[in-house]
């Protein structure tokens, strides 16, 4: 997939740049057809604009995007199982117990990818700037253990910043200067097991063409919250 990153990068936050650094090669390599982005209402949007025909749906907790065609609770997404190839959670996850993460895993297809972006709970920026817990902070060990228990392989972990600064530069993996106190984290997990979702896909009743719009043809019969 080609992704348009032609916007002025100087206007992006450090977290946006870090997430974009992981997402750009991931999108080019995996070429997902359907992408779901879930973000905290106070978080800035991610620089993600597919240049091809990929379907991209963005949802915000506690708010909506201008001109949004869908409003719902992110803890009760109105999509069928395995509706997306890539799900991105931005400033929403702390330890893996969040309902929105459970929903993200439900709608993610077999062999799909999940990207979790946020502040490191051990970082000084979280301890000082985010003292009032304006956004959830990632507990890396808990998140990684949880994802592995759900048949995910942790493929990449990018870490950046120390003490509120953009330095040290981005590091890949669990080792290197800045750990365990790096401020910002972006984690990528790839789903390994296809047993459960393959069963769902195999026996799902095929819907007649034209019943739903292209962007929302993965919607289930769940009641959408207004």
Tens digit of each residue's pLDDT (9 = 90 or more) over 118-164: 999 988 888 887 776 678 999 988 999 999 999 999 999 888 877 55
pLDDT of residue 174 exceeding 60, the answer is no
Q: Span 8-24, mean pLDDT?
A: 80
Q: Considering the entire predicted model, what is its pTM? A: 0.77
Distance CA 222, CA 226 (A): 12
pLDDT of residue 212 exceeding 50, the answer is no
Q: How confident is the model at residue 211 (pLDDT cuts 50, 70, 90)?
A: very low
- Which segments within the chain are labelled E, that is strand? 34-39, 55-60, 84-90, 108-120, 137-138, 152-160, 171-172, 184-191
Q: What pLDDT, on a 0 to 100 scale, did the predictor assign at position 63?
A: 62
Spatial contact of 145 and 138, defined as CB atoms under 8 Å apart: no
Dihedral sign from CA coordinates of 26, 28, 32, 34: positive
pLDDT of residue 176 exceeding 80, the answer is no
Alpha carbon distances (Å) from 38 to 42, 66, 136, 181: 12, 15, 14, 26
Beta bridge partners of 160: 184
% residues pLDDT > 70 (the chain): 66
> Which of 111-115, 129-133, 180-184, 203-207 shows the lowest mean pLDDT across its residues?
203-207
Spatial contact of 118 and 137, defined as CB atoms under 8 Å apart: yes
- 29 or 209, which is more confident? 29
Q: Span 34-53, mean pLDDT?
A: 81
Q: What pLDDT, on a 0 to 100 scale, did the predictor assign at position 49?
A: 64
- 41 or 215, which is more confident? 41
Distance CA 17, CA 153 (A): 24
Q: What pLDDT, on a 0 to 100 scale, did the predictor assign at position 215?
A: 46
List CB contacts of 110: < 8 A, sequence separation 6 or more: 82, 191, 193, 194, 195, 196, 197, 198, 201
Q: What pLDDT, on a 0 to 100 scale, did the predictor assign at position 12?
A: 80
């Amino acid at each position: 997939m080609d992704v348009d990153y032609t916007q002025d990068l100087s206007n992006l936050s450090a977290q946006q740049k870090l997430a974009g650094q992981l997402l750009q090669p991931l999108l080019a390599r995996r070429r997902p057809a359907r992408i779901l982005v879930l973000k905290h209402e106070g978080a800035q949007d991610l620089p993600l604009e597919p240049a091809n025909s990929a379907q991209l749906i963005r949802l915000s907790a506690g708010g909506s995007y201008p001109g949004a065609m869908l409003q719902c609770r992110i803890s009760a997404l109105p999509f069928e199982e395995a509706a997306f190839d890539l799900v991105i959670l931005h400033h929403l996850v702390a330890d893996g117990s969040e309902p929105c993460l459970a929903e993200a895993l439900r709608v993610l297809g077999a062999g799909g990818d999940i990207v979790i972006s946020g502040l490191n709970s051990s970082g000084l920026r979280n301890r000082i700037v985010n003292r009032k817990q304006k956004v959830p902070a990632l507990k890396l060990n808990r998140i990684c253990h949880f994802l592995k228990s759900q048949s995910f392989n942790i493929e990449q972990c990018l870490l950046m910043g120390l003490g509120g600064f953009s330095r040290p530069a981005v590091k890949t993996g669990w080792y290197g200067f800045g750990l365990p106190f790096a401020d910002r984290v972006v984690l990528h997990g790839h789903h390994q097991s296809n047993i459960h979702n393959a069963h769902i896909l195999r026996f799902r009743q095929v819907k007649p063409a034209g019943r739903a719009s292209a962007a929302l043809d993965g919607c289930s019969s769940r009641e959408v919250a207004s």
